[in-house]
Amino acid sequence: MRKLFEQQVSALHRSSAVEQSLSSLYGEIALWIPSHATFWQRLSTDEAEHGRNLLLLSGLVADEKLVLDVTAFNTDAVRSMEMLIGDIRGQILTSPGVSHRRAAVLALALEGALVEQPVFTAIRCESAQFRQITAMLRDSTSAHIVALLDAAANGSDV
């Protein structure tokens, strides 16, 4: 039982770490594209909150209110997301004068991968806190996609 608990918590922590990496990347983009720093910093702040919220779910595992099916948890999807963040970081941060529009196009690939999704599909939970957290994560990710689509199409910082 202890091993299962550790695997469940590990999966949530790993997903949280991916969100924190995405937050860090967006924060770096804010520094590289100062004309759109507010846009990228807002995304960075949101991603950091996503990571914190995934860690909150660990408490539900400890209280036995949440069961994460570790056999259904897609570790390959998380690993792919980690690699994609690294690849995009390299593309954006090594390109002199990367544009806001180009960064938005690349970030869309990350947001479209929905890193939270491997976690959500592997969880069974009836907790109101879980429903609240997952609704916030989905809504926020959807808002990011809309903002990035607009930035990619128009170069605006919505």
**Highest averaged pLDDT of the listed ranges 8-12, 33-37, 111-115, 154-158:** 33-37
3 state DSSP class of 151 = helix
The Cα 134–Cα 132 span in angstroms is 6
Task: Report the Cα–Cα distance between both ends of the chain, in Å, rounded.
Answer: 48
Residue 52: domain span: 2-154
Does the pLDDT at position 157 exceed 50? no
CB 124 within 8 A of CB 106: no
What is the reported pLDDT for 119? 64
Domain count, the chain: 1
CB 140 within 8 A of CB 42: no
Does the pLDDT at position 147 exceed 90? yes
More confident: 29 or 156: 29
155: left (phi over 0), alpha (psi -120 to 50) or beta: left
Least-confidence region, from 7-11, 48-52, 111-115, 133-137: 111-115
What are 35-89's pLDDT values in tens digits?
999 999 999 999 999 999 988 888 877 777 777 777 767 777 788 888 989 998 8
Question: What tokens appear for 36 in the block?
Answer: 């759109």
Phi, psi at 67, each rounded to 5°: -125, 120
What are 117-142's pLDDT values in tens digits?
656 667 777 778 888 888 888 889 88
Facing residues of 33 across strands?
none
For residues 101-117, give the mean pLDDT: 80
The sign one gets for the Cα dihedral 8, 12, 17, 18 is: positive
Q: What is the DSSP string of 34-52?
A: GGGHHHHHHHHHHHHHHHH
Does the pLDDT at position 14 exceed 80? yes
